[in-house]
Amino acid sequence: MTSITHDESAYVPPAEVEEPELYHPKSFVGKYIWSQDAKVIAVQYAITAIGVGLVALVLSGIMRLQLGFPHAFSFINPSNYLQFVTMHGMIMVIYLLTALFLGGFGNYLIPLMVGARDMVFPYVNMVSYWVYLFAVLLLMASFFVPGGPTGSGWTLYPPQAILPGTPGANWGIVLMLVSLAFFIIGFTMGGLNYVVTVLQARTRGMTMMRLPLTVWGIFMATILALLAFPALFVSAIMMTLDQTLGTSFFMPALVSQGQHLNYNGGSPILFQHLFWFFGHPEVYIVALPAFGIVSDLIAVHARKNIFGYRMMVWAILAIGGLSFVVWAHHMYVSGMNPYFGFFFATTTLIIAIPTALKVYNWVLTLWRGNIHLTVPMLFAIGFVFTFINGGLTGLFLGNVPVDIPLSGTMFVVAHFHMVMAVSPVLVVFGAIYHWYPKITGRMLNDTLGKFHFWVTFLGTYAIYYPMHYLGFLGVPRRYYAMGTTVFVPESAQSLNEAITIAALIVGAIQVVFLYNLIWSYFKGKPAGPNPWRATTLEWQTPHTPPKHGNFGATLPAVYRWAYDYSVPGAAEDFIPQNQPPGKKAKGLEQALDASDLGAQKLDGAGTPKPIGS
């Protein structure tokens, strides 16, 4: 009980600035289409991201059909197989996960959780979404241009990305690069908003060390993205110039299919450095919001404070910082100077330490908790299990000599799907089950949710755990067909069939989730303002769903950290962040009296006065 983080001494300074006036639209279009409300923008982001993610899910199903049953389907050939691989990867990493975590959860949760009325630049926030949508449409357009989308792999390595012999080397790659550039422009508008909102628009009493870890995760991820995406942006521009104007940034003198091309002096490895300088932080851009959200899910549903809050914050900062000095571990076999291997192997394995600490603290939060196995909690625990597996296999690939035999094989595919596909997606699901009641006012169906969890959790493990062993065997990734070799046994093909069947089941079962989302919107059990009895501010709003402006007449003031669960002596097993000291925490029935909680008055201090008044 020595930590300052849960200190009840009410440090609540007066407000420093006048509250901004929000533009309240009257028409349907203003409210839901050209909306400046972060919550509506969040839903727009989420629906778009999930929609495009479904396309990528179908693509992965087609890839699995080919790998499980090679040559059984005439519509899959070596050319479009690579296009499916490429589009699946890029959509999932950038257009689904990045957009959903930052544009979706970031927009919804940051203002609510820090006690702000909206993002600080609502108009820019709106534009951010529309630019994102434009980027998505550009990307989808590449399915319909001559030659189809690029098939150069999601890493888009030149020279092959812009040379014949790779599908989509004319139109597809340019659309991909331009779409990425627009995505980054859109993201930058949103990202600046998230960072400034967290830094400048926290309500009174919400010190940085009282922020819920969800906000910390999204905040740090956004900073990483703002620093990392420019590297991708410039490489996209440079490759576009190489392709269209014949510059040679990434193109050395080469002879493509017997033709001497007019390139000279460029470096393909330069592109790889730029790509991974973005690409590795990108892993954490997806992972850190997941880390933050899952911390809150575990704390709420275990009715226990997150274990070692301060260490968790420092771990997020350490991981974020280190993530910029590990990128070349993706390039151990790229042909870069081999002495880099010593440095990058060391930094990469060091990053395991703060990451491991986070895992320990999640598990230690469960320890001596009072665990409600709600659907969000199931997904959170599923995440921890999956993430432990995926994180540990990262220690294989991060350690340079171990990476040599495994790089380029199915081991890599298994590893990164486990760690940055399944793990974050499990958190996404958990988060949706957790916050859906706040977003819609209704609970998601519990039975369908549990079914969704069990099939998704066990199914994905069945897909990816055995896949590592195909990698040990030496089965390369991005192979349309393995064909005959002297060392891959027949049984490996049976394993591939089993993986495909598991993948198809997991993919198909997502329909249940979508059905649940839609059905519950109309027929779900009414949720009330705070169904999980959580402490953070988004659950203390006067209205559910929260209205534009979030908090009614007066912004809440914050008196404590976000994790006052099961405080000895308290009346309830949670104390909301805006509960002034001295008062006993209220029960749920009283909490329904929203005006009291949402418009929390300051004891003694009176209503906050704007500066200068």
Partner 1 sequence: MALAIVLVLLVVGSVLFHYLSPWYFTPIASNWDSIDETVTITFWVTGFVFVVVNLFMAYCVLRYRYRKGKLAHYEPENKKLELALILATTVGVVAMLAPGLFAWAKFIEVPKDATVFEVVARQWNFNYRFPGKDGVLGTVDAKYVSDENPFGINPDDPSGQDDVLIASPELHLPLGKPVKLELRSIDVLHDFTVPQFRAKMNMVPGLVTYVWFRPTRTGTFDSFCEQLCGIAHFAMRGKVAVEEESAFQAWLSSYPTYAQSKARVAGDAAAGKALFAVCTACQGAQAEGNPSLNAPKLSGQAPWYLKRQLKNFKDGARGTHEKDVFGKMMAPMAATLTDEAAIDNVVAYIRTLPDNPAPTTVNGNAKNGQDPYVTCAACHGAGGQGIQATNAPRLKGMSDWYMVTQLKNFQHGVRGTNPHDPYGRQMTSMAAILVDDQATSDLVAYIDTLR
Q: Which of residues 361-420 bind partner 1 (CB under 8 A)?
A: 361, 363-364, 366-373, 378, 381, 384-385, 388-389, 392-393, 395-396, 399-402, 404-405, 407-409
The neighbour count for residue 138, using CB atoms within 10 Å, is: 19
Residue number with CB closer to partner 1 (129 or 344): 344
**Residue 599 in tokens:** 């418009």
Tell me which amino acid residue 293 is.
I
3-state secondary structure of 328: helix
Task: Tell me if 270 contacts partner 1 by CB under 8 A.
Answer: no
Question: Looking at 53, 68, 115, 151, which residue binds partner 1 (CB under 8 A)?
Answer: 151
Residue with tokens 């008196």: 559
Residue with tokens 């081991």: 411
Question: Looking at 227, 237, 473, 592, which residue binds partner 1 (CB under 8 A)?
Answer: 473
Q: Point out which span in 32-40, 106-114, 152-160, 586-594 binds partner 1 (CB under 8 A).
A: 152-160
Phi, psi torsion values for 409, nearest 5 degrees: -110, 180
Question: Looking at 43, 163, 206, 425, which residue binds partner 1 (CB under 8 A)?
Answer: 163
**Residue 612 in tokens:** 């200068």
Residue number with CB closer to partner 1 (182 or 411): 411
Residue with tokens 């990053």: 351
Q: Which residues contact 48 (CB under 8 A, 6 or more apart)?
A: 99, 129, 132, 133, 136
Q: Are 135 and 229 in contact (CB under 8 A)?
A: no
Q: Which of residues 477-506 bind partner 1 (CB under 8 A)?
A: 477-487, 489, 491-492, 495
Q: Which of residues 513-542 bind partner 1 (CB under 8 A)?
A: none
Q: Point out which span in 30-38, 128-136, 183-191, 327-335 binds partner 1 (CB under 8 A).
A: 327-335
Residue number with CB closer to partner 1 (46 or 162): 162
CA distance 307 to 295: 9
CA distance 114 to 148: 45
Q: Which of residues 292-311 bind partner 1 (CB under 8 A)?
A: 302-305, 307-311
Residue number with CB closer to partner 1 (119 or 470): 470
Q: 55-76 in b/e burial notation, b at 16+ Cβ within 10 A?
A: bbbebbbbbbbbbbebeeeeeb
| Minimum distance of partner 1 from residue 206's CB (angstroms) | 18
Residue with tokens 């067909």: 481
Task: Tell me if 204 contacts partner 1 by CB under 8 A.
Answer: no
| Minimum distance of partner 1 from residue 533's CB (angstroms) | 12
Residue number with CB closer to partner 1 (41 or 315): 315
Specify the DSSP element, H or E, that contains 255: strand 255-256
CA-to-CA separations, 329 to 130, 272, 340, in angstroms, rounded: 35, 11, 9
Q: Binding mask 550-569 vs partner 1 (x if CB under 8 A, - otherwise)? A: -------------x-xxxx-
Q: Which of 90, 48, 417 is closest to 236 using CA atoms?
A: 90
Q: Are 128 and 553 in contact (CB under 8 A)?
A: no
Task: Tell me if 350 contacts partner 1 by CB under 8 A.
Answer: yes
| Minimum distance of partner 1 from residue 590's CB (angstroms) | 20
| Minimum distance of partner 1 from residue 445's CB (angstroms) | 19
Phi, psi torsion values for 486, nearest 5 degrees: -85, -10
Task: Tell me if 571 contacts partner 1 by CB under 8 A.
Answer: no
Q: Which of residues 225-264 bind partner 1 (CB under 8 A)?
A: 252-258, 260
| Minimum distance of partner 1 from residue 381's CB (angstroms) | 6
| Minimum distance of partner 1 from residue 182's CB (angstroms) | 25
For the chain, the first-to-last Cα distance in angstroms comes to 40
Widest Cα–Cα separation across the chain: 83
| Minimum distance of partner 1 from residue 224's CB (angstroms) | 23
The beta strand positions in 199-250, using DSSP E, are none
| Minimum distance of partner 1 from residue 353's CB (angstroms) | 5
**Residue 456 in tokens:** 């998704």
Q: Point out which span in 282-290, 329-337, 507-515, 592-600 binds partner 1 (CB under 8 A).
A: 329-337
Q: Which residues contact 341 (CB under 8 A, 6 or more apart)?
A: 332, 400
Q: Which of 118, 94, 91, 93 is closest to 107 using CA atoms?
A: 118
Question: Looking at 73, 123, 144, 515, which residue binds partner 1 (CB under 8 A)?
Answer: 73
Residue number with CB closer to partner 1 (409 or 577): 409
| Minimum distance of partner 1 from residue 448's CB (angstroms) | 17
Question: Looking at 6, 31, 543, 547, which residue binds partner 1 (CB under 8 A)?
Answer: 6
Q: Which of residues 432-461 bind partner 1 (CB under 8 A)?
A: 458, 461
Q: Are 143 and 149 in contact (CB under 8 A)?
A: yes
Q: Are 563 and 306 in contact (CB under 8 A)?
A: yes
Question: Looking at 63, 174, 236, 345, which residue binds partner 1 (CB under 8 A)?
Answer: 345
Burial class (CB within 10 angstroms; exposed 0-12, middle 13-18, buried 19+) of 264: exposed
Residue number with CB closer to partner 1 (67 or 428): 67
- Look at the alpha carbons of 221, 207, 211, 45 in this order and tell me if their dihedral is positive or negative: negative
| Minimum distance of partner 1 from residue 49's CB (angstroms) | 26
| Minimum distance of partner 1 from residue 431's CB (angstroms) | 19
Contacts with partner 1: how many residues (CB under 8 A)? 126
Question: Looking at 32, 123, 144, 472, which residue binds partner 1 (CB under 8 A)?
Answer: 472
Task: Tell me if 82 contacts partner 1 by CB under 8 A.
Answer: yes
